[in-house]
Amino acid sequence: MTQHLTVADFANLFGIKPEEMPKACLDMIAKGNWAYAPYPQVERDHIILDFLRRIRDRQFSFVTEGDKDRWIKGWGENLEGFKKSGDLDALTPKYIRPNMPVRLFGDFVKTEDPFFEKHWYAIFREWLLLTYVKGFDHIFEFGCGSGFNVARMAELYPKATVHGLDWAEPSVEIVENLRATKGLNVHGHQFDFFNPDYSLEVPPNSVVVTIGALEQTGDKNAAFMEFLMKKRPALIVHVEPTYDWYDPNSLVDHLAITAHELRNFWRGWHERLNGLQKQGKVEILKTKRAYFGSLVLEGFSQTIWRPL
């Protein structure tokens, strides 16, 4: 039976009331095709069997400390495309594939729009940036990748200084190019989560954003948390797959848990953060499981907090 994501569903997935949805996002929702349906059993079995085969054959890219070559290659391609065309669209990461099953409300669903996830994410990102990045003088995106979030934040908040940080050199070059060619108030810096650069200045009224970036740190993210506790930004916003919030009793979640482990995605962050909150050192303002994602996992769970 075909269903459609409504404004109320978007609000539920973002963790807000429908009346809090910004006008810009309502307009974007109105333009999309949000039709989806459960998979017929045979197709669903096929998806799950294929997933299990990938698990058995270890067919997942995985995080190893120091392995930045694939990022240099990927963002290098975006950099070349951007230099050639001068078009911000050239910064869209290439890893979003069409016609893939989508995770929605804890199950796999089939969507009419082949780019359902990409279009959903565009609305989610706009909402996130309009809601949590507003009113800050300095914006830092750590693990900024192709720079497409950096560019959007600089467009939305021209008075703010936007810093894009990544360990991959082409990312830094893209951000620097954005300033030179588009006149955006952005600055690129090289930065490694495993060895944070304490010479980086984080002025008062700064917000820190990570989007699908800390996921890449495995269990080696204590150094970056320590860095944040020292630098004390006013707000920290993570959009990351969150291991702790899957339901181990659900088959679909179990697959995500296994993929998360095989890929060596980040773990341990929430345990430490909860510990710091108990000690009165941080305030956790929002935690929201995504209940939306790709075939492999839910990449858009929100954790919003601040050092006290």
Shortest separation between residue 39's beta carbon and ligand SAM, angstroms: 27
The region of 32-40, 176-184, 187-195, 274-282 touching ligand SAM under the rule CB under 6 A is: 187-195
Q: At what angle do helices 169-182 and 69-85 cross, to 10 degrees?
A: 20
Closest by CA position to 304, among listed 278, 270, 272: 270
The string of DSSP codes covering 133-169 is STT-SEEEEES-TTSHHHHHHHHH-TTSEEEEEESSH
Report if residue 144 touches ligand SAM, rule: CB under 6 A. yes
Looking at beta carbons, which residue is closest to ligand SAM? 145
Beta-strand relationship, 282-288 and 235-240:
unpaired
Beta-strand relationship, 102-104 and 3-4:
unpaired
State which of residues 78, 206, 216, 302 lies at the interface with ligand SAM (CB under 6 A).
Answer: 216
The region of 5-13, 186-194, 230-238, 253-261 touching ligand SAM under the rule CB under 6 A is: 186-194
Shortest separation between residue 78's beta carbon and ligand SAM, angstroms: 10
The region of 41-49, 104-112, 185-193, 275-283 touching ligand SAM under the rule CB under 6 A is: 185-193
Helices (H), the chain: 7-14, 23-31, 41-56, 69-85, 116-132, 148-156, 169-182, 222-231, 251-262, 269-278
Interface with ligand SAM in residues 73-102 (CB under 6 A): 93
State which of residues 192, 200, 272, 288 lies at the interface with ligand SAM (CB under 6 A).
Answer: 192
CA pair distance 104, 248, nearest whole angstrom: 17
Report if residue 151 touches ligand SAM, rule: CB under 6 A. no
x/- site string to ligand SAM, residues 97 to 136, per CB under 6 A?
----------------------------------------
Nearer to ligand SAM, 101 or 145 (CB): 145
- Phi then psi dihedrals of residue 240, to 5 deg: -150, 155
3-class DSSP assignment, residue 259: helix
Report if residue 149 touches ligand SAM, rule: CB under 6 A. yes
**In sequence order, what are the residues at sequence separation of 6 or more whose Cβ sits closer than 8 angstroms to the Cβ of residue 50?**
none
Report if residue 211 touches ligand SAM, rule: CB under 6 A. yes
Only one residue has tokens 């935690």, namely: 287
Nearer to ligand SAM, 110 or 187 (CB): 187
Please, are residues 215 and 299 in contact by the beta-carbon 8 Å criterion?
yes
Report if residue 171 touches ligand SAM, rule: CB under 6 A. yes
Report if residue 188 touches ligand SAM, rule: CB under 6 A. no
Interface residues toward ligand SAM, by CB under 6 A = 68, 71, 93, 143-146, 149, 166-168, 171, 191-194, 211-213, 216
